[in-house]
Amino acid sequence: METIKNAIGRLVPTEINGEKQIPFQGVGKYKPEGFIHAPKISSNVDFPLDGNKKVASLKDALIKAGLKDGMTISTHHHFRNGDLIANQIFDIAKELGVKNLRWFPSASFPCHEHLIQYLEDGTINRIEGSMNGALGRFCSEGKMKGIAVLRSHGGRYQAVQDGEVKIDIAVIGAACADSFGNANGLYGQSASGLLGFALADSEYAKKVIVVTDNMVAFPCIPWQIQGNHVDFTVEMDKVGIPEQIVSGTTEITKSPDRLLLAEMTAQFCDVTGIIKDGFSFQTGAGGTSLSVSEYFGEIMRERGIKARFARGGSNKYLVKMLEEGLIEYILDGQTFDLDGVRSMAENKNHVWTSPFTSYNYHSKGNFAGIVDVVILGATEVDVNFNANVVTHSDGYLLHGIGGWQNCLFSKTVILPIPLFRDRIPVIIDEVTTICGPGELIDVIVTERGIAINPLRTDLIEKAKNSNLPIKTIHELKEEAEKICGVPKKPELTDEIIAVIKWVDGTIIDSVYKVKQ
């Protein structure tokens, strides 16, 4: 495989899976030349005039959609680990003897371990999307036939919009739909809140199938997915496992270390004037992030101020703040629990968004840059503030990018992370995989000190006279090494098994097969 050194010094392939690639050229340096992907013009002539597009089964729909060798099949991950659709699609493909498919999920979950057999027998050539757990291990061990491609949520929208990934068949599971194909994630046993991750698929895929276990009479309101994009609808008993759809991660951390990180993060935001009337913030779904918003709430109550909006993933803590009036709007990308779903269904100020509105880098702006402060995680950070979210210190590919890269465009990016995990330092000389360039990462908050990116002289100035433990990133690294020793590099081969796309479709880094 031919490689080239990109603008951040990483070797990346010039071609993967038979397609030419563009190496990362620096933040804001690459500008696309082409035109948005243009689907073939449809005509009402080819669709039932009464709007009823229902077919007997998912198998029927896939056959009618022309499922065949080499196609790209997309799914969304709003059902998370409770998804019952993706596995069925490939069971059907196997049954029909179809081979060499590209699975293009917006994310995969442990429940999709079922698909390893199809990666092995050639039904599926490769996955382009996050690979957690068993699938990540399978890929990291070099067992996947094609090269995996990981994209951020915004990057996935960009890739579809730009025609970089042409979806042949999109299968969109929905908690609620009508026979015309209007669908939402709000009502029914498989409620997932919203369906934004399937938006690009519905707009640009050649064929679109909506599958639901709650078919209502037209019109299904709201139509988060518009039936005008849909070819076939399918009703089945169960599209998801409710207990697994709402994630278990939305509990505030009880770990004193993490609570300390969260508190320090909130204090930093207070001291530097980020928390002010009308500000905006985004915190992830992890325990530390959740705690940060709780601390934000305390400060806001104390000061008598409110936030104009919070960007989601939403959860019961954020919903409580909305209902208390501490936040005017939640702009939600995915609901993590049932309180989120309820609030989105009831409250006009709890607004569903999509990777298009929030994250697409190839549009006339998006929401990410408007957010005042975003609190994110990382598996590793290096002394240049570059961060990794996909591979672990042992080199295994175990996480997706999610909206992480997209959020880096917010006005201030803070990563509260422990200085070490399992006695392995998190701040190191060079991250295993670069997912985000250091120039976009402003602050690292650890239990033993806070490092501010030297580029952010404004923040350094503002934090100077606080009683917060401001240190350099090198000091933090040395402190970690004093306690844990210098960490070993992961043992990797030089075989590229996956690439990490930047938000503009260029390749920012490669992921290598681990030595076993």
Question: Between residues 35 and 243, which has the closer beta carbon with respect to a copy of itself?
Answer: 35
Distance from C-alpha of 108 to C-alpha of 129, rounded to nearest angstrom: 7
| CB-CB contact of 102 with 71 (8 Å) | yes
Identify the helix (H) or strand (E) that includes residue 300: helix 287-303
Helices 287-303 and 256-271 pack at an angle, to 10 degrees, of 40
Cα three-residue angle 371-186-113, rounded to 5 degrees: 85
Amino acid at 396: Y
Q: Assess 357 for contact with a copy of itself (CB under 8 A).
A: yes
Q: Assess 299 for contact with a copy of itself (CB under 8 A).
A: no
Q: Assess 110 for contact with a copy of itself (CB under 8 A).
A: no
Q: Quick one: which segment of 130-138, 361-369, 397-405, 441-449 binds a copy of itself (CB under 8 A)?
A: 361-369
Q: Quick one: which segment of 136-144, 227-235, 265-273, 386-394 binds a copy of itself (CB under 8 A)?
A: 227-235
Q: Quick one: which segment of 44-52, 92-100, 116-124, 294-302 binds a copy of itself (CB under 8 A)?
A: 44-52
Q: Assess 349 for contact with a copy of itself (CB under 8 A).
A: yes
Q: Assess 467 for contact with a copy of itself (CB under 8 A).
A: no
Out of 3, 100, 363, 466, the residue judged to bind a copy of itself by CB under 8 A:
363
Q: Looking only at residues 391 through 430 of this chain, which bind a copy of itself when binding is defined by CB under 8 A?
A: 409, 411
Residue from 291, 277, 17, 10 nearest 127 by CA: 17
Out of 10, 16, 21, 51, the residue judged to bind a copy of itself by CB under 8 A:
51
The number of residues that bind a copy of itself (CB under 8 A) is 63
Sign of the alpha-carbon torsion through 78, 79, 84, 87: positive
Out of 181, 188, 395, 438, the residue judged to bind a copy of itself by CB under 8 A:
181
Distance from C-alpha of 28 to C-alpha of 47, rounded to nearest angstrom: 43
Sign of the alpha-carbon torsion through 19, 23, 28, 32: negative
Beta carbons within 8 Å of 202's beta carbon, 6+ residues apart: 170, 172, 208, 225, 226, 229, 230
Beta carbons within 8 Å of 209's beta carbon, 6+ residues apart: 58, 61, 62, 65, 169, 170, 171, 172, 230, 231, 232, 233, 234
Give the nearest distance from C-beta 233 to a copy of itself in angstroms: 11
Q: Looking only at residues 23 through 42 of this chain, which bind a copy of itself when binding is defined by CB under 8 A?
A: 28, 31-42
Question: Between residues 146 and 333, which has the closer beta carbon with respect to a copy of itself?
Answer: 333
Question: Between residues 317 and 352, which has the closer beta carbon with respect to a copy of itself?
Answer: 352
Q: Assess 47 for contact with a copy of itself (CB under 8 A).
A: yes
Distance from C-alpha of 252 to C-alpha of 400, rounded to nearest angstrom: 22
Question: Between residues 345 and 484, which has the closer beta carbon with respect to a copy of itself?
Answer: 345
Distance from C-alpha of 130 to C-alpha of 123, rounded to nearest angstrom: 19
Out of 70, 122, 278, 454, the residue judged to bind a copy of itself by CB under 8 A:
278
Question: Between residues 327 and 496, which has the closer beta carbon with respect to a copy of itself?
Answer: 327
| CB-CB contact of 67 with 223 (8 Å) | no
SS (H, E, C) 390-426: CECCCCCECCCCCCHHHHCCCCEEEEECCCEECCEEC
Residue from 315, 29, 326 nearest 193 by CA: 315
Question: Between residues 51 and 403, which has the closer beta carbon with respect to a copy of itself?
Answer: 51
Q: Quick one: which segment of 49-57, 112-120, 123-131, 387-395 binds a copy of itself (CB under 8 A)?
A: 49-57
**Cβ neighbours, 10 Å, residue 1:** 13
Q: β-pairing, 412-416 with 373-375?
A: parallel
Out of 50, 237, 302, 422, the residue judged to bind a copy of itself by CB under 8 A:
50
Out of 43, 465, 467, 516, the residue judged to bind a copy of itself by CB under 8 A:
43
Q: Quick one: which segment of 50-58, 122-130, 336-344, 449-457 binds a copy of itself (CB under 8 A)?
A: 50-58
Task: Note the residue count of the chain.
Answer: 516
Q: Quick one: which segment of 48-56, 91-99, 334-342, 453-461 binds a copy of itself (CB under 8 A)?
A: 48-56
b/e burial code for range 241-266 (CB count within 10 A of at least 16 → b): bbebbbbebbebbeeeebbbbbbbbb
Out of 308, 342, 421, 448, the residue judged to bind a copy of itself by CB under 8 A:
308
Q: Assess 144 for contact with a copy of itself (CB under 8 A).
A: no
Q: Assess 161 for contact with a copy of itself (CB under 8 A).
A: yes
Q: Assess 248 for contact with a copy of itself (CB under 8 A).
A: no
Binding residues for a copy of itself, per CB under 8 A? 28, 31-51, 53, 161-162, 180-181, 208, 217-219, 221-223, 226-231, 278, 308-309, 329, 331, 348-349, 351, 356-357, 360-367, 369-370, 409, 411, 504
